[in-house]
Structure 1
Amino acid sequence: MMKRKRIILAAASVMAAALALTACGKKQETMVEETAASTETQIVETETQSETETETETEATTVPVIEERSTVDGKMQSYLTGEWKDEEVVTRRPIAVMIPNNSQAMPQYGISQASVIYEAPVEGRITRLMAIFEDFDDLDHIGPVRSSRDYFVYTAMGYEAVYCNWGLARPYVEELINRDTVQNISAGVEGIYKPADEAYGRIKRPGYKLEFTGYLFIDGLKDAVERLKYDWEYDDDYVPQFTFAAEDYRAEYKDAEDAVIVRPGGTGANSGGYGAYNPYFEYNEEDQLYYRYQDGKKQIDEMNNEQLAVSNVVFQYCHGEVRDAKDYLAFGVHGEGDAIVFTGGKAIKGTWSRMEGDGVPPKFYDEDGNEIIFNQGKTWICNIWKEFSEFAEYE
């Protein structure tokens, strides 16, 4: 039996509430406690195909990383996964789709095709997912689709994603989602100024509530993007979130703690968002993937009956607050905070930082301040309410 490790935050970010929860490209004041111990540091040599190598010192195994992308036989390495994909897919902005994660909505459709899944608590103290897709041309539909919260919008902006939602928490989202800087494909509900109803429709699901029958249809999505004259190309100053190990290499953090069971909300009931359905990830050493479980069973995609699995899992700790009597929540997704990256069966403790505004995603660093290298493949980011961090654990 492996020893269970409860997570004690080593560099807790203390943010002024107003700035932390509503900041839009503003710097935030942060206090960081120094840590007494350090996990393994990986300083890497950078290399791309047909490019030169740069050597740096390291305490551990050096590993080449993907830096500049180049086209080879019509393919490029993805900004979201590091994997080789068609150039037109890699250079196209992704879509970010709001998907319910409560048991009454299961199973979800098409979610296994997402490159990144972002999970965060919402009112009712459950979590909701925002699935970020770059490979969606072969999908007919995705969903079910649910409503927006402002911290999801801010997160999508960091990926330069086209944001897709059906509904919104008006007091906190209406002004934000209707800005020119947010290119959204939203179902026509009150509070949406440029509805895109051609992108949405309902699918009969006997026994399901109406709210879990609405789906995003890809043909309609593309029609709406064209009608609204949105640009599919990344901005020239686009900043990828992840730095990936190069092809045929693995980022191996041999001195880091083992982490083969990862639980963002522990095993018991708690009101931090993850305590309702007790999701967890189990590492498979054979294929080096983390498999997702929830509510005591495998979390699967209805489209292909496959269990959701990713190469990397991230705990991103954020300050959170309850906003009103409806239990709407707020989270500080700008600034700095603690983080743990799980990859290759290891836990790399460190921090996240997002100080340059809405259009730049958070970056992840180890305890020595070096950027953490991700292994190629999909990534699942759990936004964990810092005030409930005591429940997060791994073993």
Structure 2
Amino acid sequence: MKRKLLIVLAILTLCVALAACKKSEDAPASSAAPEATATPEPTLPPYEANALTGEARDADYKNQRITAVMVNNIVAARPQRGLSKADILFEIKVEGGITRFMPLYTDYEDIGEIGPVRSGRDQFFRLILPWQALYVHEGQSVVMQQYAIDYSYGNLNINDVGNWGDRDPGRVNWNGASYNSGTLAYEHTLYMTSDELAEYIQDHNIDMDRPTDSTFFNFVDYRTGETRDLSASLDSAYSDKYGPVVSDGEYVEIEHSPSYKTRFLYDAASNTYTMQQNYSDGQWRDTVDEANDTTLAFPNVLVLYTDIHTYPGHEAKDLQYAEYAWGGIGYYCYGGKCEKIYWQKGTPQEALRLYYLTEDGQCSDTPLEVNIGKSYVAVTDVDYAENFIHTTLADMDLESTTTKTYESDYVEDDAEAGETLGMSTDDLTNNATGAGDAAEDPEAVG
């Protein structure tokens, strides 16, 4: 049985001292100074933030529907294209222990070229469903197909990139393999451009006009010009029992499965985390966007732990179920520090939410403030929580080798057109939830 994650936070209380002006007793009565009045707080302009980064909108900002794309991350598909343009990048385990990416964009016209595009999975879709985002992929699992049916996603579920995008059979991967040379699978060659996506949108009469004043996370208000310093967070009674709420986070290493890992190295000069992944030779390499030769870097890194296991009845295909109903513990890393947090989601229609911890190890009522900027988010199996590393760079040998990537055996078979589960996604979720419970021990993640 898996363990239900609970966590804790202590909130820093600010006391504001008000100074009163005193009338001078030495001044003549006829020339008494006027009584001082308090300086009013400046009136802030309307809050108009980028939905995915919390930054102030620029003149070119289009307050439109978010775009999400499924991108292959099996090691043979690297390097990918278009990831550096993402405002938020999700990484979650799929079949065979591998992970897949879902970059989110506020403006699809800024993507350029994206890929290799891969098939859709429900653990990603459920994160964007509340936002009614455009979901771009090639193929989908039968579970994902049922979700699209149950939630009437229609043309927003773009499942035929193969008919609108382009194949690049000559592309060469990190190891020198290509489809043209007979050393790279055909599924690692599919890409889509912003222009091709625009053509699809126009041809299918998709309404991209979806203005919103909401943001994906509860960002620090850009109008104040302030940044939340995690090192200034106040530890609480939780610290005495479970350890500090905030600790070192210059080096962050996430284990998604026994064979797939991601790590981040903090760069103080840019105040960002450089992203690296392990490879089939056991080496760490930068995660690079092939389209512009840019190494991926994020000011915000979020790691959310939950129960992830195979859907009952789908063992042959190893389709993975991610538990979002209960929420759990996680980490928010920024500025070389990592802070323990709590996350919640609930039903598929509810948005992802982040919270501070209470002194009792529970989810507080206070939404976590995330600093503005791009974010990487890992939704990760709690089975590997004990292998999460966050420490100083000086504590780590950055040149050492790590686990070699490999893929467990499974039958890769996307759903046929018109294929259904034979049950609703609610029934499927009830079956999947009964396969494991989360723990109530806040020490489940150190």
Q: TM-score range by the shorter chain?
A: 0.7 to 0.9
C-alpha displacement of 1:123: 0.8
- Counterpart CA distance in 1 for 2:377 and 2:6 is 24
Identity percentage of aligned residues: 24
Query: What's the TM-score once normalised by structure 2's chain length?
Result: 0.67
Which amino acid counterpart does residue 168 of structure 2 have in structure 1?
A: I
Instruction: Report whether the alignment pairs 1:304 with 2:308.
Output: no
Q: Secondary structure at the match of 2:129?
A: helix
Counterpart selection for 2:254 from 259, 264, 270: 264
Equivalent position of 2:384 in the other structure: 388
Instruction: Report whether the alignment pairs 1:283 with 2:259.
Output: no
Equivalent position of 1:93 in the other structure: 65
Alignment: residue pair count: 325
Cα 1:379–1:251 change in 2 (3 A) is same
- Counterpart CA distance in 2 for 1:41 and 1:91 is 34
Give the 5 Å matches for 1:174-189: 174-178=145-149, 179-181=151-153, 183-188=155-160
Structure 1 residues 331-340 or 112-121, which shifts more?
Answer: 331-340
C-alpha displacement of 1:358: 3.2
Conserved 8 A contact 1:288-1:311: yes
Conserved 8 A contact 1:176-1:182: no
Which amino acid counterpart does residue 287 of structure 2 have in structure 1?
A: Q
Conserved 8 A contact 2:119-2:140: yes
Conserved 8 A contact 1:340-1:347: yes
Q: For each residue in 1:239-282, what CA deviation from the matched residue of structure 2 results, as whole angstroms up to 9, or x when unmatched?
A: 422122233321102242121111111xxxxxx43x42421011
Conserved 8 A contact 1:336-1:354: yes
Give the 5 Å matches for 1:15-30: none
Q: Secondary structure at the match of 1:244?
A: coil
Q: Secondary structure at the match of 2:197?
A: helix
Instruction: Report whether the alignment pairs 1:250 with 2:246.
Output: no
Structure 1 stretches lacking a partner, 5+ long: 1-11, 15-31, 54-66, 71-76, 189-195, 266-271
Cα 1:388–1:118 change in 2 (3 A) is same
- Counterpart CA distance in 2 for 1:365 and 1:240 is 15
Equivalent position of 2:215 in the other structure: 240
Conserved 8 A contact 1:41-1:366: no
Conserved 8 A contact 2:266-2:274: yes
Instruction: Report whether the alignment pairs 1:69 with 2:34.
Output: no
- CA RMSD across the alignment: 2.7
C-alpha displacement of 1:114: 0.2
- Counterpart CA distance in 2 for 1:340 and 1:117 is 16
Q: For each residue in 1:294-347, what CA deviation from the matched residue of structure 2 results, as whole angstroms up to 9, or x when unmatched?
A: 121111100111110011111111212212122221111234211211112111
Conserved 8 A contact 1:107-1:302: yes
Q: Secondary structure at the match of 2:327?
A: strand
Counterpart selection for 1:294 from 264, 268, 277: 277
Equivalent position of 2:348 in the other structure: 358
Which amino acid counterpart does residue 252 of structure 1 have in structure 2?
A: D
Structure 2 stretches lacking a partner, 5+ long: 17-40, 173-177, 179-183, 234-245, 279-283, 359-363, 392-446
C-alpha displacement of 1:201: 1.9
Instruction: Report whether the alignment pairs 1:149 with 2:121.
Output: yes
Q: Secondary structure at the match of 1:84?
A: coil
Conserved 8 A contact 2:88-2:105: yes
Which amino acid counterpart does residue 263 of structure 1 have in structure 2?
A: E
Give the 5 Å matches for 1:158-237: 158-170=130-142, 172-178=143-149, 179-181=151-153, 183-188=155-160, 199-204=164-169, 205-206=171-172, 207=178, 208-234=184-210
